[in-house]
Chains A and B, each alone.
Chain A
Amino acid sequence: MSVTVSTTVNGDSVDFVCAPDETLLDALRGRLGLTGAKEGCGTGDCGACSVTLNGRLVCSCLVLAVEAEGQEIATVEGMAAGETLHPLQRAFIDHAALQCGICTPGILVAAKALLEKTPDPSDEEVRYWLAGNLCRCTGYDKIVRAVQAAAAEMRRA
């Protein structure tokens, strides 16, 4: 028994049909072709599937697709404005804050949510905010630096 869901993703109205027990992550990836959010665990422990739901940072693996009905979803695919990367995206490239890159979309979405709420975070705030985004490659050092560089740039803007 399938359900039709009408929702907004990155500002676009979209409809899809899904099973009632399907996660938002599976719907984004499988139904809408938005594979930027990754499944690293499926249990909310790694943050690779981070998106925002009505502006609130969530793991899309812990949201049912049907719950998106009438809501607003934002994913990594919506971060850049046309050809212009978001300051966080540019900072991650400039500061080599990614190695394999699988955690990067989730971290970018999470960091964006942080800077919208806390434009001038301490390193400790960045680290605790991102504690739910596992990265196995970098040791987080360059990630924290990149977030701070983007934050500084966004404060100047």
Chain B
Amino acid sequence: MAFDAYVKREFKQVGTRVARPDGVDKVTGRALYGADMVAPGMLVGRVLRSPHAHARIVSIDTSEAAAMPGVKGIVTGRDFSVPKDEFLADVAVNCLAQDKALYDGHAIAAVAAINATVARDALKKIKVEYEVLPHVTDIDVAAKPDAPVVLEGRALETVPAGMGANVTHRCEFGHGDLEAGFAKADKIVERSFRTAATHQGYIEPHACLASFTTDGRADLWVCTQGHFYFRTLCSEMLGMEASQLKVTASEIGGGFGGKTTVYLEPVALMLSKKTGRPVKMVMTRDEVFRATGPTVSTSIDVKIGMTKDGRITAGWADMRYSGGAFQCLTCEMGAQAAFAAYDLEAVQTVGWNVMTNRPKEAAYRAPGAPQAIYAVESVVDELCQGLGLDPLEVRIKNAAKKGTKASYGPTFDDIGLLATLEAAKKHPHYTAPLAEGQARGLSCGFWFNFGGNTCVTMNVNTDGTVGIAEGNPDIGGSRASISLMAAEELGIPYEKVRTIIADTASLGYADTTDGSRVTFAVGIATINAARDAIRKMCKRAAMLWGIDEDAVEWKDGAAHPAGPNAGKFPPMSLADIAAKSFQTGGPIAGHYEVNADGAGVSFGVHLCDVEVDKETGATKVVRYTVFQDAGKAVHPDYVEGQMQGGAAQGIGWALNEEYIYGADGRLQNPGFLDYRIPVASDLPPIEAVILEIPNPGHPYGVRGVGETSIVPPLAAISNAISRSIGTRLQELPMSPPRVLKAIKGAA
């Protein structure tokens, strides 16, 4: 049974702001990230990448490079057999191109050499003959029947006949009678939006160290969000058995979804296999931007009808997403999320995927939702402006709540949207006077959250301390949260618990750190592993007391005689029981394995004030407040951190971040200089208001919090800008040239 019901309780430790266990390592420079590991005899691997957006690879001549002193091995796509499974095949082809280079930066070949200089020089000696093909990077152009075809034959059965070959998927959601709904509206607004592809922008580039031995075993040290999934992908690509590949997750320098798939890792393993030496590969920042994880770029039409008093009568959206040069199903998430915040009688969303000569999409924090909700929330806001209605009241009036039939199908259980809206309404920010030239915007946001496969082993040490092994790389402080939940359940101090992330050989499978799942799902496993250990400890106490094990209960970190024996013996603490464990049957450990469900959806509301320089089009965010339903906040500091961090990424997306392609199909801004993520001086303080509406699907009421916060900023800022300049932009980012153009266009 994969479902653990919430039971109301008073927490002693959960909810406190303890120091994170990896804190000292991280402030002293001791923490080891992907690029920080070395191995004796290690070689350096580098990748040769396509300078073309789309080209047939006629030939690759590696002979000259291979003959260079210091070059120990070279691999190309031919060294890998392409898996039969289409999804895996795409991942493999993305790691090393087969017959075509599909985007600027697509990996073509890789070299292992004695040092970085030799490796770099060797790349220059690899001769690749390309037949340059027509390319397409714009989604609307790519969707046309006469567009250059990125890959043939990739359309699913979902695509109607007559579409262009780049259109690979269609999905549709919704309910009710749209026509009747629009007929009831007093005002209908229909608009088209475009959003640029953005990058997760983690500061740590992808890095790994692979070591393959001649007996077919391998070790991989890698910065990843999911080392178990990396093991699956790499072992399939290298034709290995999973048990022969041990993957260890390094500390991870940010992921946000972008480190959920492999790029360098199978290549490093293959180079190590070929050379018989450990191979380290680290991407440059340029490679990170050109070849890894941007979001989908989108083109979205939205139509919404509203009555004079602010009731939404119907909502419709058609959203084209491009996940780059491969099949991509993210449009499904966007099409489901678009209207999730509203209680609607008639709603329909249609999602499409269109291939373009861009890098393969990787998940980015609530993948697909920010774009869809930006478009919907912009139109809702325009309706409020047009009808002279308060945008917060309109959202309260139409808010999805318990019993609402969600636009994506199910009926909502307990959800926190109304609570966040009411909190925003009561907050001083909403009524604070605005300075001259400032304007306020708001938006709702939504994300599903997931659970997934999780294993936890909890070892009770003989000195009364507890070690936890879990399988999810810690991106934002999850070891602290897991230790807190263990301490709470066991009734021992937080300081007595140490949580580590086990390698793939030491623990059962864990799904990737994604879908805002870790505190939720690992939490369930941890609490249950603790309960398992407690059962065992009660049994040991019963043996020591010579009473029936059912007559023992656990409270405040100790076994107590209960029932007829109550009070007969002094309580026996965890440390007392642990100290005698060798004499009572051996070491004590608790275990739990689960594929957790019941994560519970999450809503947020963001309020922001902006100031637009009407002569330059520059937007300054002057005040920002995030309201989010977090369920029980296990470690409030890191819950706030997720809310603030997501907001900051959303602000960057709204204002300046974008993939810019030239007419030649090459990425123009593959660096932090021109891919402009927010810097400290760009942002105001970001206030985070946590609402704790317990998730009925978690024993402590925990909900995922990591993703929802990136969803609302796009529309919140757009809505504020539109109120500041008196006209609405329909394209992201709202960079100064676009804003100035809109101002001039409106004048």
Say if the two chains contact directly (CB < 8 Å).
yes
User: Is there an interface contact between B645 and A104, defined as CB atoms closer than 8 Å?
Assistant: no
Which one of B88-96, B104-112, B537-545, B673-681 contacts A? Answer: B673-681
The distance from the CB of B278 to the nearest CB of chain A, in whole angstroms, is 15
User: Is there an interface contact between B256 and A43, defined as CB atoms closer than 8 Å?
Assistant: no
CB-contacts of A70-103 with B (<8 A): 75-77, 79-80, 85, 88-90, 92-96, 98-103
The distance from the CB of B618 to the nearest CB of chain A, in whole angstroms, is 16
CB-contacts of B648-684 with A (<8 A): 648-649, 671-673, 677-683
Residues of B within 8 A of A141 (CB): 644, 683, 685-686
Interface digits, A113-156 against B, CB 8 Å rule (1 contact, 0 not)?
00000000001101110111111111111111000000000000
Q: When chains A and B are docked, how far (Å) is the Cα of A130 from the Cα of B679? A: 8
User: Is there an interface contact between B677 and A136, defined as CB atoms closer than 8 Å?
Assistant: yes
CB-contact partner of B679 in A38, A93, A132, A137, under 8 A: A132
B638 within 8 A of A: yes
The distance from the CB of A147 to the nearest CB of chain B, in whole angstroms, is 10
User: Is there an interface contact between B27 and A40, defined as CB atoms closer than 8 Å?
Assistant: no
B616 within 8 A of A: no
CB-contacts of B183-231 with A (<8 A): 200-205
Q: When chains A and B are docked, how far (Å) is the Cα of A29 from the Cα of B35? A: 10
B154 within 8 A of A: no
Q: When chains A and B are docked, how far (Å) is the Cα of A41 from the Cα of B640? A: 28
B647 within 8 A of A: yes
Residues of A within 8 A of B685 (CB): 123, 141, 144
The distance from the CB of B684 to the nearest CB of chain A, in whole angstroms, is 9
Interface digits, A27-70 against B, CB 8 Å rule (1 contact, 0 not)?
00100001111111111011010000000000000000000000
Residues of B within 8 A of A89 (CB): 24, 27-28
User: Is there an interface contact between B27 and A131, defined as CB atoms closer than 8 Å?
Assistant: no
| Residue in B closest to A142 when the chains form the complex, CB atoms | B641
A19 within 8 A of B: yes
User: Is there an interface contact between A92 and B27, defined as CB atoms closer than 8 Å?
Assistant: yes
User: Is there an interface contact between A85 and B680, defined as CB atoms closer than 8 Å?
Assistant: no
The distance from the CB of B251 to the nearest CB of chain A, in whole angstroms, is 7
Residues of A within 8 A of B23 (CB): 92-93, 98
Residues of B within 8 A of A29 (CB): 35-36
User: Is there an interface contact between B680 and A35, defined as CB atoms closer than 8 Å?
Assistant: no
Which one of B14-22, B173-181, B339-347 contacts A? Answer: B14-22
| Residues of B in contact, count (CB < 8 Å) | 56
Q: When chains A and B are docked, how far (Å) is the Cα of A139 from the Cα of B284? A: 24
Residues of A within 8 A of B252 (CB): 100
Residues of A within 8 A of B475 (CB): 99-100, 137
Evaluate whether A38 and B33 lie within 8 angstroms (CB atoms) in the complex, with A93-B20, A139-B647, A141-B686 already known.
yes
| Residue in B closest to A34 when the chains form the complex, CB atoms | B29
Residues of A within 8 A of B680 (CB): 126-128, 130-131, 133, 135, 140, 143-144
Q: Say what secondary structure dominates the interface of chain B.
A: loop
| Residue in A closest to B675 when the chains form the complex, CB atoms | A45
Q: What is the total of A-B residue contacts with beta carbons within 8 Å?
A: 181
Residues of A within 8 A of B686 (CB): 139, 141
Q: When chains A and B are docked, how far (Å) is the Cα of A126 from the Cα of B681? A: 8
Residues of B within 8 A of A139 (CB): 644-645, 647-648, 678, 683, 686
User: Is there an interface contact between B205 and A99, defined as CB atoms closer than 8 Å?
Assistant: no
User: Is there an interface contact between B29 and A134, defined as CB atoms closer than 8 Å?
Assistant: no
B134 within 8 A of A: no
A108 within 8 A of B: yes
Residues of A within 8 A of B532 (CB): none
User: Is there an interface contact between B679 and A40, defined as CB atoms closer than 8 Å?
Assistant: no
User: Is there an interface contact between B204 and A100, defined as CB atoms closer than 8 Å?
Assistant: yes
User: Is there an interface contact between A93 and B203, defined as CB atoms closer than 8 Å?
Assistant: no
Residues of A within 8 A of B477 (CB): 96, 99
Q: When chains A and B are docked, how far (Å) is the Cα of A36 from the Cα of B200? A: 23
User: Is there an interface contact between A96 and B641, defined as CB atoms closer than 8 Å?
Assistant: yes
User: Is there an interface contact between A131 and B681, defined as CB atoms closer than 8 Å?
Assistant: yes
Interface digits, A7-28 against B, CB 8 Å rule (1 contact, 0 not)?
0000000000001000000000
User: Is there an interface contact between B204 and A45, defined as CB atoms closer than 8 Å?
Assistant: no
User: Is there an interface contact between B681 and A128, defined as CB atoms closer than 8 Å?
Assistant: yes
Q: When chains A and B are docked, how far (Å) is the Cα of A133 from the Cα of B679? A: 7
User: Is there an interface contact between B672 and A41, defined as CB atoms closer than 8 Å?
Assistant: yes
Interface core residue of A34, A38, A100, A131 (most chain B CB under 10 Å): A100
CB-contact partner of A137 in B17, B19, B254, B681, under 8 A: B254
Residues of A within 8 A of B637 (CB): 95-96, 142
The distance from the CB of A109 to the nearest CB of chain B, in whole angstroms, is 9
Q: When chains A and B are docked, how far (Å) is the Cα of A88 from the Cα of B26? A: 12
Evaluate whether A48 and B203 lie within 8 angstroms (CB atoms) in the complex, with A99-B638, A139-B644 already known.
yes
CB-contact partner of A105 in B29, B32, B671, B683, under 8 A: B29
The distance from the CB of B512 to the nearest CB of chain A, in whole angstroms, is 16
Residues of A within 8 A of B200 (CB): 136
The distance from the CB of A11 to the nearest CB of chain B, in whole angstroms, is 15
The distance from the CB of B301 to the nearest CB of chain A, in whole angstroms, is 32
A-B contact pairs, 10 of them (CB 8 A): A75-B29, A93-B24, A98-B23, A99-B641, A128-B681, A134-B679, A136-B256, A136-B648, A138-B645, A142-B644
Beyond the given pairs A92-B27, A101-B31, A139-B683, 15 more chain A to chain B contacts, judged by CB atoms under 8 angstroms and listed by A's residue number, are: A39-B282, A43-B673, A77-B28, A77-B29, A85-B24, A93-B19, A93-B23, A94-B19, A96-B637, A100-B203, A100-B255, A105-B27, A130-B679, A134-B672, A137-B475
Please list the residues of chain B having a beta carbon within 8 angstroms of any beta carbon in chain A.
Answer: 17, 19-20, 22-24, 26-33, 35-36, 117, 200-205, 251-256, 282, 284-285, 475-477, 637-638, 640-641, 644-645, 647-649, 671-673, 677-683, 685-686
